[in-house]
Structure 1
Amino acid sequence: MFKQKHRSKFLFSLVGILLALLWLSPFYLMLVNAFKSNFEIFNSVLAFPETFMFDNFKQAFIDLDFINALTNSLIISVGSILLIIVFSSMAAYALSRNKSRLSGVIFLVFVAAMLIPFQSVMIPLISIFGRIDMLNTYGLLFMYLGFGSSLSIFLYHGAVKGIPVSLDEAAMIDGASRWTIFWKIIFPMLKPITITVMILNVIWIWNDYLLPSLVLSQEYATIPLRMFYFFGQYTKQWHLALAGLTIAIIPVIVIYFFAQRHIIKGVADGAVK
């Protein structure tokens, strides 16, 4: 019995290690090849560089106009996340505390919206926003709010359901308004799920290429859009592209590193009871 249990534990650990190596393999390829020349990359993708070319990062930094691209990415990502958190948390609170049939239908509509792929609404969306002259940063923030709200409301809704209604009633007896109850009592208790919503949304917004490419001009290009600079019709500068990609993912990794302890708790709080 002991040997069987020990063997099962060993196999489980082995599978976990293999999956971890498989997940880390793209990061290995990115980091290793970021220090190579183009010739070395085409010669052997898996091998370590013969000479570490740190100039790749310097040149990628210049070619990307990194400070400007980083600023644009930060404005769009931070602005979108703030809008998603504010509006999704308030909507989830209202839908959770309102027990009417209409509230349930609205919540189901938000959940069902997660199944609609962006590509199916891409052309009419861009056409409508073009007519009202909103193909700019502000229009992009509004689009991200729409696309990010469904999952965020779903997570917030489950978390709010776990907070007793008696807290609302006690605050109302003391004379607090609904606005005060939410921002002073309910929202602080949603910190784990708020961090989870932030992480889940910042990853896809920060790395998104398709939507910004349809909306933004070159002046306001984000980092993923500027990465296209390294891929011309006849030349592909993989060494600079991988160096630029390494620089670009650092902010997301730093945010995830500091927020990771809240993510599991947040997902558990946001699960359907």
Structure 2
Amino acid sequence: MKRKEYILNGIKLIFLSIVFVLYIFPFFIVLINSFKERKDILLNPMMIPNKLNLSNYVDAYTKMDYLHAFANSLIITVFSVALITLLSSMTAYIFVRRKWKFNQFMFFFMVASMIIPFQGIMIPLVKIYGSIGMMDNKWSLIYMYIGFGASLAVFMYHGFIKSIPVELEEAATIDGCSQLQTFFKIVFPLLKPTTVTIAILDILWIWNDFLLPYLVLISPDQRTLPLSVFYFYGTYTIEYGPAMAALMIATIPVIVVYLIMQKQIIKGVLQGSIK
């Protein structure tokens, strides 16, 4: 039996190692090419550079106006995620605790909206918002992210809130809490696993999103990091070295956040999946 377990564990280890290599290989290619000149990349993109050429990083940092683009991405992501979690949790709470037919209709309507692909509504969306002067504005983009992200968040919160005993809220009401105080002092802290899960999914989605910012944000001073990276790809030429360097410095904030909060992220995902 022990020999059989060793063999199975060895097979699992080999399989997971292969998956890891396949997963990390594109990142490795981008990393090594970010230190090479364009001619070296075209000659042999798989070759490890003989020396580390940091000029690509300096060029990328300057051309993409990194700090400004980073600030735009940070503002959009933080406000979008914060508002999605806050508004969606409050909406799901009302849907669960108020057994109105209108609430049931709205809940199923929001769940049904998740099957509509963004590509099917993006042209009417841009046309309508453009006609009322809401384009080229990061706050309009935040508003759109709230609309697109609320349905999934409400669905996840709805299932979790149903498992919270009503007696806890009744006890808080007896102690003199208003409904708003009951939600923020009793219910919302219990939603932490779901909140962490939703925040992780939305941070990855909004920070890395390209299509919606590309449609909404036009001015260079409004660009997010993915948009700033995209503009290294011109009509007739591609600056491969600076583009690779731009990709690397655009992913650094996400990697740093994950390394700092990996325990909380894994714990939140596991608890959210169990619930």
| TM-score normalised by length of structure 1 | 0.93
Distance in 2 separating the partners of 1:41 and 1:147: 39
Distance in 1 separating the partners of 2:15 and 2:82: 39
Q: How does 1:182-261 map to 2 (within 5 A)?
A: 182-218=183-219, 219-261=221-263
Q: Does 1:57 align with 2:57?
A: yes
Residues 65 and 257 of structure 1: CA distance in aligned 2, closer, same or farther (over 3 Å): same
**Gaps (5+ residues) in structure 1?**
none
Query: Contact conserved, 2:196 with 2:269, CA < 8 A, in 1?
Result: no
CA offsets 1:69-123 (integer angstroms, 9 cap, x no match)? 1111111111111111111111122223234554444333322222221100101
Displacement after TM superposition at 1:268 (Å): 4.5
Q: Does 1:129 align with 2:124?
A: no
Task: Write the letter of the residue equivalent to 1:57.
Answer: Y
CA offsets 1:20-53 (integer angstroms, 9 cap, x no match)? 1111112111111111111111122222112211
Q: Which residue of 2 aligns with 1:7?
A: 7
Q: How does 1:9-158 map to 2 (within 5 A)?
A: 9-100=9-100, 102-135=102-135, 136-158=137-159
The number of equivalent residue pairs is 273
Look up the SS of the partner of 1:45 in the other structure.
coil
Distance in 2 separating the partners of 1:266 and 1:160: 16
Displacement after TM superposition at 1:238 (Å): 1.1
Query: Contact conserved, 1:155 with 1:267, CA < 8 A, in 2?
Result: no
* Identical-residue share of aligned pairs (%): 45
**Gaps (5+ residues) in structure 2?**
none
Bigger shift: 92-101 or 145-154?
Answer: 92-101
CA offsets 1:126-177 (integer angstroms, 9 cap, x no match)? 1221222211222111110011112222222233233222111110111211
Displacement after TM superposition at 1:264 (Å): 4.1
Look up the SS of the partner of 2:47 in the other structure.
coil
Q: Which residue of 1 aligns with 2:166?
A: 165
Displacement after TM superposition at 1:246 (Å): 0.7
Residues 108 and 257 of structure 1: CA distance in aligned 2, closer, same or farther (over 3 Å): farther
Distance in 2 separating the partners of 1:259 and 1:187: 21
Look up the SS of the partner of 1:230 in the other structure.
coil
CA RMSD after TM alignment: 1.9
Displacement after TM superposition at 1:271 (Å): 4.5
Residues 190 and 25 of structure 1: CA distance in aligned 2, closer, same or farther (over 3 Å): same
Distance in 1 separating the partners of 2:199 and 2:274: 19
Query: Contact conserved, 1:154 with 1:270, CA < 8 A, in 2?
Result: no
| TM-score normalised by length of structure 2 | 0.92
Query: Contact conserved, 2:76 with 2:138, CA < 8 A, in 1?
Result: yes
Look up the SS of the partner of 2:115 in the other structure.
coil
Distance in 1 separating the partners of 2:235 and 2:25: 28
Look up the SS of the partner of 2:139 in the other structure.
helix
Bigger shift: 245-254 or 192-201?
Answer: 192-201
Bigger shift: 109-118 or 218-227?
Answer: 109-118
Distance in 2 separating the partners of 1:133 and 1:164: 46
Distance in 1 separating the partners of 2:69 and 2:115: 31
Displacement after TM superposition at 1:232 (Å): 1.1
